[in-house]
Amino acid sequence: MINNEAESLMHTEILSYEADGLLMQSHLYFEDGASRRPGILVFPEAFGLSQHAKNQAERLAGLGYATLACDLHGEGKLFSDLKSVSGILERLRNEPSHIRARAKGGLESLIARPEVDSSRVGAIGYCFGGTMALELARDGSQIAGVVGFHSGLATVAPQDARNIKGKVLVCIGADDPVIPADQRTDFEKEMRNGGVDWQMHLYGGVVHSFTNPEADKAGRTEISRYNAKAADRSWASMLAFLKEIFE
Q: What is the mean pLDDT of the chain?
A: 95
- Torsions phi, psi of 199, nearest 5? -140, 145
Please report the beta strands in 127-166, taking only residues with DSSP state E, as ranges in sequence order.
145-149
Res 110 pLDDT > 80? yes
Apex 163 CA angle, 156 and 36, nearest 5: 120
Residue 217 resides in a domain:
yes
User: What pLDDT shows up at residue 6?
Assistant: 45
Of 180, 209, 178, 184, nearest to 199 (Cα)?
184
pTM value? 0.95
The answer to whether position 110 is within a domain reads yes
CA distance linking residue 245 with residue 56, whole number of Å: 19
On whether residue 3 sits in a domain, the answer given is no
Tell me whether residue 70 is in a domain.
yes
Domain membership of residue 1 (yes or no) is: no
In this predicted structure, the answer to whether residue 108 has a pLDDT above a threshold of 90 is yes
CATH number, domain of 111, equals 3.40.50.1820
Q: What is the pLDDT of residue 3?
A: 45
Weakest mean pLDDT among 19-23, 29-33, 52-56, 140-144: 29-33
pLDDT in tens, 187-244: 999 999 999 999 999 999 999 999 999 999 888 899 999 999 999 999 999 999 999 9
pLDDT of the residue at 7: 55
Look at residue 2 and tell me if it is in a domain.
no
Residue 4 lies in a domain: no
5 found inside a domain: no
Domain that includes residue 146, residue range: 10-246
- What is the total count of domains within the chain? 1
- The Cα angle at residue 85 between residues 108 and 72, in degrees rounded to 5: 10
Rounded CA separation 197/192 (Å): 9
The lowest-confidence range among 14-18, 36-40, 55-59, 77-81 is 77-81
Contact predicate 227/210, CB 8 Å = yes
| Residue-level pLDDT at 2 | 43
pLDDT in tens, 42-88: 999 999 999 999 999 999 999 999 999 999 999 999 998 888 999 99
Rounded-to-integer distance, Cα 238 and Cα 234, Å: 6
